[in-house]
Amino acid sequence: MTTSVQLDRAQKRFDLWDVNGDGQVDRTDFEAEVKRILQAFGEAPTSPAGRQMTDAYLGMWSFFAGKAGIDEHTGALSPEQFNRIAEEHILENGGAGFNRVVKPTIQAIVELVDVDGDGQVNPAEFKSWLDAIGVSDVEPAQAFRQIDTNGDGQLSVEELVQAVRAFHLGQIDVPLLGR
C-alpha cells in the first residue's frame, strides 16, 4: 500500500531526476544526475569510482526503461510510469527489487565518499555525502545515529540501502540520494 508520504517522495525523486525539467525522465536525465554527483564529489567520470557511479545510475535507468517497455536510449518515462514502476517493482516487494536496483548506486556513492577505504562510511564521510548531494536540512550526527542500526559507529552499504528504502517508505526523514 502506497501512502501519501511515499507518493510525495517518489514525485520528488522524479522531479530531481527530471534534470532538464521537461516533465519526463530519460537516459540524458540520469546521465546529467551522475555528472552533477561526480562534480559535487570532485570525481572524474573516467576514474574507476566515476565509471562505477555512471554504471549504477545507467543500470537504474535500464531497469526503469525495461519495466516500462521503452527503448533505454530514446524512450522517456512519465511521472505516472515512474511512480508505478517504483511502487510495484522497487518499494513493494519486501526490498528485493530495492536491493537489485538501488544497492549498486549506494555502493558507488560509498566508493566516492569512503576516503579511508574501509568499505564503510564514518561520520565525517557521511557529512561529506550529505553536503555533496545538497542535503542541508538534516543534522548529520543525528541522522548518522538513526541509520547506524548496529551502533558500531560506521555505516555499512546494507545499513545505507535500508535507510534509503526507509526514507522512500516514509519511515525516516534522511534523503540519501538528494532532495
The DSSP line for 76-131 is EE-HHHHHHHIIIIIISSTTHHHHHHHHHHHHHHHHHH-TT-SSSB-HHHHHHHHH
Q: Mind listing the pLDDT tens digit for each residue in 84-95?
A: 888 787 766 666
pLDDT above 90 covers what percent of the chain?
A: 58
Q: Mind listing the pLDDT tens digit for each residue in 47-62?
A: 999 999 999 999 999 9
pTM: 0.85
Distances (CA, A) of 161 to 45, 80, 179: 23, 24, 17
Say which CATH architecture domain 4-168 belongs to.
Answer: Orthogonal Bundle (1.10)
